[in-house]
Amino acid sequence: MPAPETAIDCHVHVLDPLRFPYASDTWYVPTPAETGTPALLAQVLDAHHVQHALLVGPNSGYGLDNRCLLNTLAQGAGRYKGIAVVPNDAGLAELQDLKAAGVVGVAFNAALLGTDFYANTAPLLQRLRDLDMWAQVQVEGDQLAAMNALLQDNGAKVLFDHCGRPKTAAGLSQAGFEALLGWGAGGRACVKLSGCAKFATLPYPYADAQPYVNALIEAFTPRALVWASDWPFLRAPARIDYGPLQALVHQWLPDPDDRRAVLLETPQRLFGFTGSK
């Protein structure tokens, strides 16, 4: 297995129920094995030569409660940036406060909540555009086809989770994935090469995800692609380990300059990471 390269992980969660108890009405209560405290996260990142990470507020456990996320950002001394979960009517002042705390975007989780849940978010997207923040969108199957006009019309930068979570049996021409590829030339979107376990039907190394990864690399180029682990692997269908996920990047991007762009340079440029940890 190749040695780890210096990297930025663009999708991890912090889950610290002893200090920040889970919401009583959460969608999913993480198991003890899925706990991801700030201390555990730092240990994992250090062991794998990962300088920085983008912390994503999880619907599981915390819902709209960003306290654990914000505490980790405050204690991280610049190591982390954040993606918050906010109500659809979040106002400008709330978003400005989040941005000042190190949050660079807001999560839109249609894969969990459905596309209709976000039908009223045009004003939120406009506020994100005005603040130069990201709309981080997680869709699956053909959901993007239903949301595409909303996302295109409002001018916000869009960060797509987990390769768009296509249906691997449906082929590259499925409507949702074609809509995702259509963002490649526009300069407003970035895609995370991540989350193969969420959409591949084959086990690691997820051979049936490879055509979709290849198509994204061609459409977006390494200047609009980033890598992510999805640690600590909530609701994973099978065991996942961090090191093998890193090794997949060598398979996807054999050229070292392309790997460096995806692992380091592109997230530095797009999310404002600077310096070493």
pLDDT tens for each residue of 103-141: 999 999 999 999 999 999 999 999 999 999 999 999 999
CB 84 within 8 A of CB 50: no
CB 68 within 8 A of CB 62: yes
Domains and CATH numbers, the chain: 7-271 (3.20.20.140)
CB 2 within 8 A of CB 43: no
Locus of tokens 């997207």: 125
- Average pLDDT score over residue span 243-248: 96
Q: What is the pLDDT of residue 5?
A: 81
- Average pLDDT score over residue span 247-272: 97
Question: How far is Cα 99 from Cα 240, in angstroms, rounded to an integer?
Answer: 32
CB atoms within 10 A of CB 208: 14
pLDDT above 80 for 233: yes
Q: What is the pLDDT of residue 239?
A: 95
Tokens, residue 239: 């065991």
Q: What is the pLDDT of residue 2?
A: 60
- Average pLDDT score over residue span 11-28: 95
Tokens, residue 215: 């198509």
CB 40 within 8 A of CB 17: no
Assign 238 a pLDDT band (cuts: 50, 70, 90). very high
Question: How far is Cα 102 from Cα 99, in angstroms, rounded to an integer?
Answer: 5
Question: How far is Cα 208 from Cα 200, in angstroms, rounded to an integer?
Answer: 6
CA angle 59, 65, 68 (to 5 degrees): 95
pLDDT above 80 for 277: no
pLDDT tens for each residue of 213-226: 999 999 999 999 99
pLDDT tens for each residue of 88-102: 999 999 999 999 999
SS3 of residue 197 by DSSP: helix
Q: What is the pLDDT of residue 276?
A: 66
CA dihedral for 191, 192, 198, 202, sign (positive or negative): positive
The pTM of the full predicted model, rounded to 2 decimals, is 0.96
Instruction: State the chain's mean pLDDT as an integer.
Output: 96
Q: What is the pLDDT of residue 19?
A: 97
Task: From residue 255, give the alpha-carbon distance in Å to each of 162, 163, 207, 212, 222.
Answer: 22, 20, 19, 18, 11
- Average pLDDT score over residue span 202-229: 98
The proportion of the chain whose per-residue pLDDT surpasses 70, expressed as a percent, equals 98
Assign 146 a pLDDT band (cuts: 50, 70, 90). very high
Assign 275 a pLDDT band (cuts: 50, 70, 90). confident
Q: What is the pLDDT of residue 185?
A: 86
- Cα dihedral 167, 245, 13, 192, rounded to 10, equals -50
